[in-house]
């Protein structure tokens, strides 16, 4: 699990989110309002946005993010987390403890 979170706000643009992902060499960012997790924006969302709107880079991230993403607790078994990702077709899963995001687990974390 990665505990350094890469975060954007819902009013940030797709371009700003992509810049954060590129600068930090990560495949997703969490969309947060203060401590509240609103969504997640991934590389796949980037491709979807750019393929559907020529000016998507200027759109607010909340238009393209996955709202209310699935999460796991920190004590979830790694096999269960992996199955959640495989069954749902995504590669990033926020880790939430007591309503607070404390990390992110990725397919790469579980495959290693």
pTM of the model: 0.90
- Domains annotated for the chain, with CATH where assigned, are 7-111 (3.10.580.10)
Tokens for 41, please give them: 């924006």
What beta strand segments (E) does 9-99 contain?
A: 28-33, 36-42, 66-67, 92-97
pLDDT of the residue at 34 = 93
* Average pLDDT, integer, range 84-109: 91
Residue 77 neighbours by CB under 8 Å, 6+ apart: none
* Tens-place pLDDT, residues 28-83: 999 999 999 999 999 999 999 999 999 999 999 999 999 999 999 999 998 898 89
Which letter, b or e, does each residue of 6-39 get, where b requires 16 or more Cβ atoms within 10 Å of its Cβ?
bebebebbbbbbbebbeeeebbbbbbbeeeebbb
């Amino acid at each position: 699990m990665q505990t350094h979170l890469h975060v954007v706000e819902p009013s940030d643009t797709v371009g700003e989110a992509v810049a954060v992902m590129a600068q930090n060499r990560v495949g997703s960012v969490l969309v947060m309002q203060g401590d509240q997790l609103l969504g997640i924006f991934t590389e796949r969302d980037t491709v979807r946005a750019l393929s559907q709107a020529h000016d998507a880079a200027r759109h607010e991230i909340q238009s393209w993010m996955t709202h209310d993403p699935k999460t796991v607790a920190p004590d979830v078994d790694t096999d269960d987390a992996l199955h959640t990702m495989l069954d749902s077709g995504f590669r990033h899963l926020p880790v939430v403890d007591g309503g607070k995001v404390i990390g992110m687990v990725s397919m790469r974390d579980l495959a290693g």
